[in-house]
Amino acid sequence: MTEKASNFLATIIEDDLAKGKHDQIVTRFPPEPNGYLHIGHAKSICVNFGLAEQFGGRCNLRFDDTNPEKEEQEYIDAIKADIEWLGFQWQDEPKFTSSYFDQLYDWAVHLINEGLAYVCDLSSDQAREYRGTLTEPGRNSPYRERSVEENLDLFARMRNGEFDEGACALRAKIDMASPNMNMRDPILYRIRKKAHHQTGNKWCIYPSYDYAHGQSDAIEGVTHSICTLEFEDHRPLYDWFIEHLPVPARPRQYEFARLNVNYTVTSKRKLKRLVDEGVVDGWDDPRMPTISGMRRRGVTPAALRHFSDMVGTSRAGGVVDLGMLDFAIREDLNENAPRAMAVLDPLKVVLTNLPEDHFESFTAAGHPNRDDLGERELPFSREIYIDRSDFNEDSSLSRKKFKRLVPGEWVRLRNAYIIQADEVIKNDAGEIVELRASVIEGTVGNDAPEGIRPRGVIHWVCAKHGVKAQVRLYDRLFNTETPDRGGDDFMQYLNPESLTLLTGCIVEPSIAKAEPETSFQFEREGYFVIDRYESTPENLVLNKTIGLKEVWERKV
């Protein structure tokens, strides 16, 4: 063990190892390849892989690929990439439930031979009626007492494709009066005449999740099968299969509270709807709560892992405020993101007391507290850009209310001169299009001369050497804390201002030289990342990760 147990699951594992119950712990992460992983999966990844790391065990990646109708290779590739990006590595090659289809079929035959499974011809509607309710017991299927020989014959014919989809199913024979609905003769196999991405057309019957899951754990020697609390009621069924089948190991299931975050939906079905209806630009849209979406937005693996630690692992459910994730992101980027200057709404400033061919270069730290991030060069010429919001034509504004540039007064350009605003140039529509200003000589790196009081410090970019960029400002995708509450259609709570596209932004040259996925802190603007797909040095694209502080207002 590499560190002290920190949650109830770690305590269980620590106790099992101390008692010699296991020589090595084995966990697993078993996603369905029917969509991209989201923030809830990130928590589960951290739990399963993290416990294996903590106790010197191993964690398997196993794709629960029992529903070929919804599964795609794209999802498999994305899931593997997400896990590796988070900093985890599975044991050996990725595993697939489909690799065990032959063994699962043989074990289903074993249950039939033991009188513990039967082929049922009830339709789905009839089966639902026979199942009963939470307050009323179910009724036995009229096909429940078929002979072993008849069930073996029918199950073989199911496998051979002799029946249509929905014509029949193989069910376990347990207890239709059980208070646990999962124990009321659950389905083991359904007919699905779909080609499988791993097995092709070999099978036209596919095992249910409940049947395949525990047995796959047993085949792999999993010791601690960790899942979320919605599977707690499935644990008796998990144990029933382990008890009644000749499996090579006896894994135990444990549950912890799933991660629920406000202002977010994490249902794969709902996320897919956002993609399919074009509300977002794919699964990795930076507004999506998918791991790939958060990555594209500039969230780091360290921030997500820290967030997982902050949330903790327990059996107590609840909704986590998105602000906790924001805190983890800011904390990480504040420490690790190099600094840079970017002007998102440019206003040209002509420094009239400099010659037209003036050029000089200033040096600035890559990070105020990180010598290892080096220095960067800031070219400076007669024309620069400042942000339009850093100038106000009303010179009567008090210094307390407006600490930037007004006519006749001064500001310091970050890492450069103090300048004074002299003249405002407007177009025919009365809009400000340019400022004329003058530099105060000798003020680079020095205090202001007597009688000159700069209002504040503003950022800037050289007009001649600055780089044009497209900047995407992202906000929360939903404007209510619980977009999927009750029976409401979550689509009605979409935030119409979740994406703002800015063109014509100007950034300092050092940004264009950086690799995709490099993050920066832009002074007074927030944290931004170079887009991993669309950005090039010639066509720079930057995504806003998060502001320097929380300014989002709740909307109900």
H helical segments located in 8-57 = 8-18, 39-54
Q: Is 32 a catalytic residue?
A: yes
437 burial type by CB count under 10 A (0-12 exposed, 13-18 middle, 19+ buried): buried
On whether residue 426 sits in a domain, the answer given is yes
Q: What is the pLDDT of residue 399?
A: 93
State residue 3 phi and psi, 5-degree precision: -155, 165
Longest dimension (CA), the chain: 104
CATH number of the domain that residue 511 is part of: 2.40.240.10
Q: Which of 202, 237, 258 is the last residue of a domain?
A: 258
- Specify burial of residue 511 (Cβ count, 10 A radius: 0-12, 13-18, 19+): buried
Last residue of a domain, one of 239, 258, 277: 258
Residues 316 and 449 in one domain: no
**Full-model pTM:** 0.94
Nearest in space to 120 (alpha carbons), one of 204, 210, 178, 190: 190
Type of residue found at 143: Y
Q: Is residue 554 scored above 80 in pLDDT? A: no
User: Do 421 and 539 sit in the same domain of this protein?
Assistant: no
Out of 258, 270, 348, 414, the active site residue is 258
- As beta bridge partners, residue 343 has 506
| Mean pLDDT of the region 40-58 | 97
Domain identity same for 58 and 111: yes
Give the separation between CA 281 and CA 291, rounded to whole angstroms.
15
Are 228 and 16 within 8 A, CB to CB? no
State residue 430's pLDDT score. Answer: 95
Same domain, 428 and 487: no
pLDDT tens, position by position, 510-527: 999 999 999 999 999 999
pLDDT at 251 over 80: yes
Q: Are 334 and 349 found together in one domain?
A: no
Q: Are 265 and 495 in contact (CB under 8 A)?
A: no
pLDDT band at 555 (very low <50, low <70, confident <90, very high): very low
DSSP-derived letter for residue 552 is P
Pairing of strands 383-387, 460-462: antiparallel
pLDDT at 289: 98
Residue 134 located in a structural domain: yes
Q: What is the mean pLDDT of residues 7-19?
A: 96
555 lies in some domain: no
In-domain check, residue 2: no
pLDDT at 56 (0 to 100): 96
DSSP one-letter code for 200 = B
Mutual orientation of helices 39-54 and 8-18 as an angle, nearest 10°? Answer: 30
Say yes or no to pLDDT of 556 above 50.
Answer: no
80 DSSP assignment: H
Residue 368 has pLDDT above 50, yes or no: yes
Q: Are strands 346-351 and 319-320 parallel, antiparallel or unpaired?
A: unpaired
**How far apart (Å, rounded) are the C-alpha atoms in residues 33 and 200?**
16
Q: What percent of the chain has pLDDT over 70?
A: 98
Amino acid identity, position 150: E
Token couple for 85? 């990006």
Kindly state the average pLDDT of the residues 381-400: 96
Half-sphere exposure of 362 (CA within 13 A, CB side): 18
Spatial distance between the Cα atoms of 240 and 188, rounded to a whole number of angstroms: 13
- pLDDT number for residue 6: 78
Is residue 117 helix, strand or coil? strand
pLDDT at 122 over 90: yes
The candidate with the shortest Cα–Cα distance to 422, out of 438, 434, 433, is: 438
551 inside domain = no
Tally the C-alpha atoms within 13 A of residue 87's C-alpha that lie toward its C-beta.
11
| Number of independent structural domains in the chain | 3
Interatomic CA distance for residues 2 and 436, integer angstroms: 63
Q: Which residues partner with 248 through β-bridges?
A: none
**Confidence at residue 485, expressed as pLDDT on a 0 to 100 scale:** 83
> Are 429 and 498 members of one domain?
no
For residue 482, the 8-state DSSP code is: -
pLDDT of 392 > 50? The answer is: yes
Average pLDDT, the chain: 95
Three-class SS of residue 301? Answer: helix
351 & 313 share domain: no
User: Cα torsion for 523, 529, 535, 540, to the nearest 10°?
Assistant: 0
Residue 338 tokens read as 């190099």
Cα distance between residue 314 and residue 9, in whole Å:
8
Q: How confident is the model at residue 263 (pLDDT cuts 50, 70, 90)?
A: very high
pLDDT tens readout for residues 409-463: 999 999 999 999 999 999 999 999 999 999 999 999 999 999 999 999 999 999 9
DSSP string, 130-161: HH--SSS-----TTTT--HHHHHHHHHHHHTT
How many Cα atoms sit within 13 Å of 242 on the Cβ side? 22
Q: Let me know whether 64 and 174 are in one domain.
A: yes
Same domain for 123 and 233, yes or no, is yes
Angle between helices 101-113 and 209-220 (to 10 degrees): 110
Domain that holds residue 428: 345-458
The answer to whether residue 3 sits within a structural domain is no
Query: Residue for token digits 């090595």?
Result: 24
Please give the average per-residue pLDDT across 241-270, as a whole number: 96
337: left (phi over 0), alpha (psi -120 to 50) or beta: beta
Helices (H), 412-516: 509-512
Residue 460 backbone phi and psi in degrees, to 5:
-160, 165
511, 524 contact by CB (below 8 A): no
132 in the same domain as 232: yes
The answer to whether position 554 is within a domain reads no
Q: What is the pLDDT of residue 552?
A: 47
451, 383 Cβ separation under 8 angstroms? no
* Distance, CA of 362 to CA of 293 (rounded, Å): 36
pLDDT band at 551 (very low <50, low <70, confident <90, very high): low
Does the annotation count 258 as an active-site position? yes
pLDDT classification of 385: cutoffs 50, 70, 90: very high
Give per-residue pLDDT as tens, 79-119.
999 999 999 999 999 999 999 999 999 999 999 999 999 99
Catalytic residue among 43, 58, 159, 268: 268
- Which pLDDT value is given to residue 393? 96
Other Cβ atoms less than 10 A from the Cβ of 50: the count is 21
pLDDT above 90: residue 38 = yes
Looking up residue 69, the CATH number of its domain turns out to be 3.40.50.620
Nearest to 238 by CA among 285, 276, 182: 182
| Annotated catalytic residue 149 | no
Catalytic choice (14, 32, 150, 331) = 32
At 318 the pLDDT is 86
Q: What is the pLDDT of residue 198?
A: 96
Give yes or no for residue 209 having a pLDDT over 80.
Answer: yes
Kindly state the average pLDDT of the residues 293-308: 98
Q: What is the pLDDT of residue 5?
A: 53
Dihedral, CA atoms, 382, 388, 389, 394, nearest 10 degrees? 80
Q: Is there a single domain that holds both residue 167 and residue 185?
A: yes
Are 101 and 29 in a shared domain? yes
Domain boundary among 404, 436, 458: 458
Report, as an integer, the average pLDDT of 382-411.
Answer: 96
For range 164-177, the mean pLDDT = 98
Nearest to 484 by CA among 290, 258, 270: 270
